[in-house]
Structure 1
Amino acid sequence: MVVSHDLYDSVGQTIFETWRATAINTVFADDIGDWPQRLDQGVLAQYRVSLLLRAIKGTEAGKPMQFDYFNGRPVMEVLRQSLDETIAVLDAKFQTQDMSAWKSAVVYEDFRLANSAATELGLVPNKARVTGNEWWNALMRIDSSRLPIETVIPSGGQSYFINLAGQPTAHLNDQSERHRSFDFKKVAVSRGDIQSLRHTGKTVLSYRP
């Protein structure tokens, strides 16, 4: 992880990240201690909010919780408390109530950790802004419809090969920008979709003995 002197263009990021940690503590600490924070340890961006969102949605959640983590208090009352605590924390941290001064430093993911050769040769960027996107993503619907898989990866995998002459594979860096902007690509999985994508000509592969 690399932290630069660049600042995010909105103070909303600072407020949300601080509120998220505060709200999780307010809602869960008396029942499950620091387990939510421990789950975030070691990740580049602490963006896990699914547990908190389920608690807030209550009976409207996709999988409603069986335990009342709000201890009988109205949800909005608890959330207002967590927001008040968030503002107090940020007032103290930045030593000002001027929210325009609360912008946080941009967090970058260091690509040199994944493949130093590719970055040293200028074949992939040295770093990219952390967006909360996982390193490799695949979204799929598992049923008889066999809809295309949506997938994206920042770079690499089997395409990370660079020969001794410093020549990379053609697809070494063709997904970096797509990964940054959450621009998923489709991968056909049904026989009909695959057949429709077939090339009309022949592709001849030759290998050195």
Structure 2
Amino acid sequence: MNLSVISALRSLESLDLGECSDFPTNFGEEILVNLKKLEKLRLEKGQGNCHTFEILDAVKQMPQLEQLELVNFDIKTGFDTALGGCSNIRKLLIIPTYISQSATTNHMVLGGVLRLQSTLSHFVWGVTLELLRVTELFVDQCEDPDKKEKKDKKPAGNGDSIPVLKPVPLITDKDDTIPPAHDPPQVEILPLPNLQKLLLQSLPTTRVKILKIPFHATWRQSITDTVN
């Protein structure tokens, strides 16, 4: 795949690209950063060996770029710090893949977004229905059998929770640092209403939306559709 032609489009203001797993290592530093007038960037399917950190390093060097959408991206350890450096981004959509290590993924997304608390105006977090179902099954399997009767009476919608590595990233007025995850890892099951509340408290000037969607519909989501 020859992407070098893109770097010549110096007046480009909006760019959508898919199959980001196939991009070369130098896509960020030699191609993306040349798009000085780019305002909106949407990237899809950044999985496997995708050079996500190199891309984010380029993003933070693009002062005109204010809208970033990452759809079906693997979120790896270190993503929080890399995303936190992109203080130029005002509108952000993230839909992780949730194929494995979902608790780590959510910890990284939350930690990264909180680092943008002073600059982010819009944030959309896409959570797949498949992740919600798997999390509910995990909770059911770990539950004390003696509580089965109580479990059977749980209200509808109680399964809307996601796993997050402890400690759950949180910024308070007294402490603006985000602690690292526990070692060995421990998982917190965080209901989506609690996640929404946490985000609204930590990002008081940001419009926040948690989007529950099936995986097959992730490709059709955009910031424009969800917050405008």
Same fold (TM over 0.5): no
| Class of the TM-score when normalised by the shorter of the 2 chains | under 0.3
Q: What TM-score results when the alignment is normalised by the length of structure 1?
A: 0.24
Q: What is the TM-score with the length of structure 2 in the denominator?
A: 0.22
Higher relative CO (Cα under 8 Å, sequence separation at least 6) belongs to 1
